[in-house]
Structure 1
Amino acid sequence: MKKHYNIIIAGAGGIAQAAGLLLMEWSEVPPTVFIGNRTLSKALKVARWIEDGTTKPCTVKAFHLPVEGLTEEMKEILGQGDMLLDCLPGSLAPKIAGLAKDFHLHYANLTEYVAETIEITALAKDAPTGFILQTGLAPGYINILANLLFQQFCSDFEVDNADKLEFKVGALTSHAIAPHYYGFTWSPVGVATEYLKDTLVLRDFKKTRLPSLSERAAIIIDGITYEEDLTSGGAADLPDALAKKVGILDYKTLRYPGHYAWVEEQRSGLGNTPEAITALQHKMEAVIPHIEDDKIVLYAAVEGRDNEGTLYRREIAKQIQPQRVGRHQLRAIQIATAAPLLQSAQLMLESLSSGVVLQSQIDPQPFLNGNFIVPVYGKVLAPQKSLE
């Protein structure tokens, strides 16, 4: 951030923590940050954590964000805010987006929930401020990276379509044990949701809906074998934006071999209702531990033919490790999610866009080389065409 802003963060979990700390450490002009949570003590704890962790002068204020209604304190804070970062569970996103619209705030969220994203898109279409949606890791960074690969492929090979566009992310632990081969590094309800709700893909250049966990395959990335499978939400709006341009497009989640077979046993007969999501979450939480030592593995690829019919494939793979920021060590999932959220927020504040901005509408090259992104993901350079 190159000027002073008042940034409101809704939520006091791990991503909210990381976002607050990155704002202080990596903004040219540190903002004033307001942390709101339904449990005030948790918001106060996060505010102190940010203050203790930053090496820069900072102002961090905690406030009570009730489940229902508005307090006078909230009205005052919302009235002076520039940007509202929604780090709450996705089910609450329409409510928080409504506050942003009512108080003329720019808004950014993280949720992969499809129905809530559609609801916010309708709510914010005539808003005077900007609403940038699904801005985290997946959906978020991975979609912009995939879109860049597609754009560069078409430009370099002078074509207007591709056979395949694949993008995959795994939030993983360094080690995994039987029978589940997994450890929670982020929200268990988010994991259960993406395993049960349908996913949007392109097949034969047309958008279609497929069941999650219905196209499992093995993939080797940097010499390590993972399993990939369809999960909901990660494709963001690319199936709409690239229909008729890409034959096969999908988002898949990466896991260690054996995990998906175990999940299939747990979700047998559950369906994909809200009750089923809760049931699967409880089944997983009963045996899967929460683990602090994590890593992010991501992969994107485009495949197609040049105008002479030769088949080409371009791939990018990255691994994100925990990283020290200021005086705190951030987990990989925290920093990999918070950085794209803040790059999106900066984009919104500096462009002063209005209405809804989706992932396909973001100019990939400047975003992927932005000041919040590069320290986490590194630079993304245009590939060099071979000379023949």
Structure 2
Amino acid sequence: MNSQYTIIIAGAGGIARAAGLMLAELSGVVPNLFILNRSLENAQKMAHWLQKGSSRGIQVECFELPEDEIPVRVREALESADILLDCLPGSQAPGMAQLAKDFNLHYANLTEYVSETETIKNLAADTGTGFLLQTGLAPGYIDVLGNHLFQTFCKRFNVEKADSIALKVGALTRHAVAPYYYGFTWSPVGVATEYLKDAVVIRDYKERTLPSLSERNRIIIDGKTYEEDLTSGGAADLPQSLSHKVRKLDYKTLRFPGHYAWVDEQLTLIGHSLHIVDELQQKMEDVIPHIEEDQIILYASVEGKDDKGARRKLEVSKKILPQKIGNHRLRTIQTTTAAPLLQSAMLLLESSAKGVILQSEIETADFLNGHFIKPIYGEIVLEL
């Protein structure tokens, strides 16, 4: 970012902290930063953490977001800002989007929640600012990468369609032990939700909905074996935008072998329940530890036939580890989620974008090699 913007971060958790620190350390011009959170104390703790962690210095102001009427001080902050970066839980996304619309702010969020995304698409259809949705790791980066591979495939092999697009991401620990072969590196409710909400896919060139955890396979990535299965949300809007162009498309979450079998056992014990997400989350949290040392494994591929009938495949894989930003060492899930959010913010602030912008509508090459993306994900060398 080469101009000084005023940026509101909604939330004060791990991703919000990473976004704030990366803005301070990686921006061309350090922005003014407002932290908006239900707990003023947590916002102030985040501000102290940012100021301690930044090597460049950053101006941070904290604001408490009330449940009902907006105080004058918060209103003045909203009126003076340029963009709202929503790092709150996905269930609160429509409320934050409405706030951005009411105060004529650009808006970007991270949530994989499908119904909340549809709500925001409707309310933001007529806005004079840009609303870039689902712009984290998955959904987010992985979808832009998959779309880039598809565009490259079509141009390189002189075709307009492909047989398959595969998108896979695993937020994993470095080690895994029986019986669950997993450790929490991000939100437990997010894990339980993606395991139980339906997955949107493409089958036979048509958008379809399938149950999560219903198409399990093994895959070897860079010589290591993982399990993969359908989960919800990670495909963003690609099933809509690429139907009729791709025979098969899906997003699958990567896990160490044995984890999904353990999840199946827990779901069998729970049985039919109106609160199955909460109950699975509780069963997982009862025994699975939270682990700081994490890694991200991602894989994307496009396969099909070229204009002469020969079968071709393009694929990209990455292994990303924790990284020091400023004076703090950030977990991989923090940097890989925050980087696409900040690249999206840069896109909105430095363009004339208006209305809803979905992952399929992002110019892929510029985004994937963008200012905030490259330090975290590295460069993508495939060219259109």
TM range (shorter): over 0.9
SS in 2 for 1:316: strand
Aligned to 1:243: 243
Deviation at 1:67, TM superposition (A): 3.3
Task: For 2:366 and 2:68, locate their aligned partners in 1 and report how far apart those are by CA, in whole Å.
Answer: 39
Aligned to 2:143: 143
Task: For 1:199 and 1:381, locate their aligned partners in 2 and report how far apart those are by CA, in whole Å.
Answer: 30
Task: For 2:273 and 2:34, locate their aligned partners in 1 and report how far apart those are by CA, in whole Å.
Answer: 36
Whichever residue aligns with residue 220 of structure 2, its letter is I
Deviation at 1:69, TM superposition (A): 3.2
Aligned residues of 1:171 and 1:294 also touching (Cα < 8 A): yes
Task: For 2:67 and 2:299, locate their aligned partners in 1 and report how far apart those are by CA, in whole Å.
Answer: 38
Q: Deviations over 1:338-373 (max 9, x none)?
A: 000000000001112110000000000000000100
Task: For 1:67 and 1:212, locate their aligned partners in 2 and report how far apart those are by CA, in whole Å.
Answer: 34
Task: For 1:184 and 1:32, locate their aligned partners in 2 and report how far apart those are by CA, in whole Å.
Answer: 33
Task: For 1:167 and 1:107, locate their aligned partners in 2 and report how far apart those are by CA, in whole Å.
Answer: 26
Whichever residue aligns with residue 79 of structure 1, its letter is E
Structure 1 unaligned segments of length 5 or more: list them: none
Task: For 1:162 and 1:271, locate their aligned partners in 2 and report how far apart those are by CA, in whole Å.
Answer: 39
SS in 2 for 1:351: coil
Q: Deviations over 1:37-56 (max 9, x none)?
A: 11111110001101110111
State TM-score, norm by structure 1.
0.97
Q: Deviations over 1:90-109 (max 9, x none)?
A: 00000000000000000000
Task: For 1:270 and 1:349, locate their aligned partners in 2 and report how far apart those are by CA, in whole Å.
Answer: 48
Structure 2 unaligned segments of length 5 or more: list them: none
Q: Alignment RMSD, CA only?
A: 1.1
Aligned residues of 2:365 and 2:383 also touching (Cα < 8 A): no
SS in 2 for 1:176: coil
Percent of residue pairs identical:
61
Query: Residues 61-210 of structure 1: matches in 2 within 5 Å?
Result: 61-210=61-210
SS in 2 for 1:292: coil
Task: For 1:162 and 1:68, locate their aligned partners in 2 and report how far apart those are by CA, in whole Å.
Answer: 50
Deviation at 1:271, TM superposition (A): 5.4
Deviation at 1:276, TM superposition (A): 1.4
Aligned residues of 2:135 and 2:141 also touching (Cα < 8 A): yes
Change (3 A) 1:137 1:152: same
Aligned to 1:296: 296
Aligned residues of 1:196 and 1:271 also touching (Cα < 8 A): no
Task: For 1:356 and 1:42, locate their aligned partners in 2 and report how far apart those are by CA, in whole Å.
Answer: 31
Whichever residue aligns with residue 22 of structure 1, its letter is M
Deviation at 1:57, TM superposition (A): 2.6
1:357 and 2:357 correspond: yes
Whichever residue aligns with residue 368 of structure 2, its letter is L
Q: Deviations over 1:174-223 (max 9, x none)?
A: 01111111000000000000000001000000000000000000000011
Task: For 1:178 and 1:70, locate their aligned partners in 2 and report how far apart those are by CA, in whole Å.
Answer: 49
Deviation at 1:66, TM superposition (A): 2.3
Deviation at 1:266, TM superposition (A): 1.2
Task: For 2:149 and 2:18, locate their aligned partners in 1 and report how far apart those are by CA, in whole Å.
Answer: 28
Aligned to 1:233: 233
Aligned residues of 1:196 and 1:272 also touching (Cα < 8 A): no
Task: For 1:359 and 1:271, locate their aligned partners in 2 and report how far apart those are by CA, in whole Å.
Answer: 35
Report the more deviating stretch, 54-63 or 185-194. 54-63
Aligned to 1:262: 262
Aligned residues of 1:197 and 1:272 also touching (Cα < 8 A): no
Whichever residue aligns with residue 228 of structure 2, its letter is E
Aligned to 2:328: 328
SS in 2 for 1:166: strand
Aligned to 2:340: 340
Task: For 2:297 and 2:273, locate their aligned partners in 1 and report how far apart those are by CA, in whole Å.
Answer: 27
Aligned residues: 383
Aligned to 1:45: 45
Deviation at 1:270, TM superposition (A): 4.7
Task: For 2:203 and 2:350, locate their aligned partners in 1 and report how far apart those are by CA, in whole Å.
Answer: 37
State TM-score, norm by structure 2.
0.98
Task: For 1:270 and 1:195, locate their aligned partners in 2 and report how far apart those are by CA, in whole Å.
Answer: 15
Change (3 A) 1:106 1:42: same
Task: For 2:323 and 2:273, locate their aligned partners in 1 and report how far apart those are by CA, in whole Å.
Answer: 36
